[in-house]
Structure 1
Amino acid sequence: MLIAQLTDIHIGFEPEARPEELNRQRFRATLDRLLSQPNKPDMLICSGDITDRGDAESFDKTAALLAECPFPVHMMVGNHDTREGLLHAFPATPVYDGFIQYAFEQDGLLVVMLDTLEIGRHAGAFCERRRDWLRATLEAKRSTPTVIFMHHPPVVAGIGWMDPNEDDPWILNLAAALEGMDQVLAIHCGHLHRPIVTSFRGIPLAVTPSVAPLVAMDLRPISSEKPDARALITTEPPSYALHRWEDGTLVSHYEKVCDWDVLAYYNPHLQPMIREMEKERLGG
């Protein structure tokens, strides 16, 4: 099973742009690549900040493009979204106690979608009600391998102006829900607009890079009192992820969306190399 992930699309950042805003161009290019690349996804997860302002028009524009997908699309909110806007454009999205938080099982893998939105707050949120739902959901599926998707990474990555405090209450709530849940194989996030790999409470955690322009990789301390002309946002290419679940193993792949040259094709002159590598794998 292949799970595609797009995150941080930010449609509507320049709503008056003509003929088409940059973020929508990047989204269209990423979606085109996802649909044309050789690995057919079984589903797509959009992990938050679908829009930049949470408005219905931006969600409608997103839904119109996602209608091209020949596989299920699962939505979740980020801090730039609104639950009302998302449900307007994607009314079939499950809701729990007012939160866009749900789980489903496919091919022996439990996929958990978390809601880390608190309106008016840039950073994440995860209250006691969401914590208790997650704990109960995982308790009921202790023998089922699980992957969690959430918008905000509950870790300090070193990008000072984007990072949370490691002892934020929402992070402690998440940690409490995950304690002892050994079936959780990985956590996949967005929000930071960069490719990042780390762990949270012993669980592998990765951040998928954004579709919208990326955050510059500058890990120096930053001061709100002293602008230092550092780069904050760059035009690095948009990216997407493919998470491969097969034979009890979850592996994640990432691809940038840009023009490149193919340096080798699998033609007869490379067949001996492929045969030799296959022979090694088979113990020959």
Structure 2
Amino acid sequence: MKEGRNGMLIAQVTDIHLGFDPGNPAELNRQRLDQVLRALIDGPNRPDLLLATGDITDHGDGDSYRALAEAFAQCPFPVWPAMGNHDDRANFAAHFPHVPQDGGFVHYVVPLPGRRIIVLDTLEPGRHGGAFCEARAAWLTARLDEDATIPTLIVMHHPPVEVGIDWMNTHPDEPWVQRFSAAIANRPNITALVCGHLHRTITAPWKGTTVAICSSTAPQLALDLRPMDPDAPDNRPMIVADAPAYALHRWTDAGLVTHFETAGEPATLAKFDAGMQPLVRMLMAERPG
């Protein structure tokens, strides 16, 4: 895998929810995924690899995983998926046999030149929120102990941080959060946590690292930070249809820089032509070296 002057470029898609409209090969969520994949494949920022961080199907059914495998097959770069609360491990394994499983969980290490990605499994069937049991904590601890210095990116569906969207919040006292927090304590080589689940673009500091949460290719959550009373519906928007989103994580020796983007064709208001050349020259001449 290449790594040039600009470091390694890692793309992320999340919360694809393929199969929300069962039996429809032209469903909206597939169209939105294909729009993002075209941007990654044909655009100027083709990544070295793609992370698909959970809820990659809506019902965890075999037909949806089959369609997802077909969609990812067009990618000229590796695709590494994670499990979300809408996923099913057995059906996933039938269509993604190359993705490692260990002890019944879809967690594994992606070794890279001078660094590594650790993909975690936070699925607990029947639960919408995250899960991280003692067995998964022991597995993660063992992987982290194998090399305590190599820069490490942790990838997981559920973010362990509270973000203020009341109906989708993670409470800091949830047992799985406490267990995960203990597993990564005093690990300065953890560069960042990359997550999904919230269908919004969010970054937050947490336990000495940064949590980068990518918005979804499927429709997104409305941004409303007011408290919510589950016994008093107030007609607030909950799901909105902004453009399908993705993230680009530029990982260099200096750390991780994340760019959040949407797929589509925005209007170009300026381009690098003779008229803009003096500005570009001036700005780049101001830099040392």
Q: TM-score surpassing 0.5?
A: yes
Runs of 5+ in structure 2 lacking a partner? 1-7
Show the counterpart of 1:11: 18
Q: CA RMSD in A?
A: 1.2
Tell me if 1:212 matches 2:212. no
Show the counterpart of 1:120: 126
Show the counterpart of 2:97: 91
Q: Equivalences for 1:122-201 in 2 at 5 Å? A: 122-201=128-207
For 2:279, what is the secondary structure of its paired residue?
helix
Show the counterpart of 2:88: 82
- 1:107, 1:36 → 2: CA distance? 25
For 1:281, what is the secondary structure of its paired residue?
coil
Tell me if 1:49 matches 2:49. no
Runs of 4+ in 1 over 3 A off after TM superposition: none
For 1:226, what is the secondary structure of its paired residue?
coil
1:218-252 CA-to-partner distances (Å, cap 9, x unmatched) read 11111111111110000111110111112342211
For 1:269, what is the secondary structure of its paired residue?
coil
Show the counterpart of 2:38: 32
For 1:111, what is the secondary structure of its paired residue?
strand
Q: Give the counterpart letter for 1:6 in structure 2.
A: V
Q: Give the counterpart letter for 1:4 in structure 2.
A: A
For 2:143, what is the secondary structure of its paired residue?
helix
Show the counterpart of 1:61: 67
- 2:253, 2:279 → 1: CA distance? 26
- 2:205, 2:139 → 1: CA distance? 22
- 2:227, 2:255 → 1: CA distance? 37
Between 191-200 and 254-263, the greater mean CA deviation after superposition: 254-263
Shift of 1:16: 4.0
Q: Equivalences for 1:94-113 in 2 at 5 Å? A: 94-113=100-119
- 1:222, 1:36 → 2: CA distance? 42
- 1:131, 1:263 → 2: CA distance? 50
Between 242-251 and 193-202, the greater mean CA deviation after superposition: 242-251
Percent of aligned pairs with the same amino acid: 46
Number of residue-to-residue matches in the alignment: 282
Shift of 1:4: 0.7
Show the counterpart of 2:4: none
Show the counterpart of 1:245: 251
Q: Give the counterpart letter for 1:10 in structure 2.
A: H
For 2:286, what is the secondary structure of its paired residue?
helix
- 1:103, 1:254 → 2: CA distance? 24
Shift of 1:259: 2.8
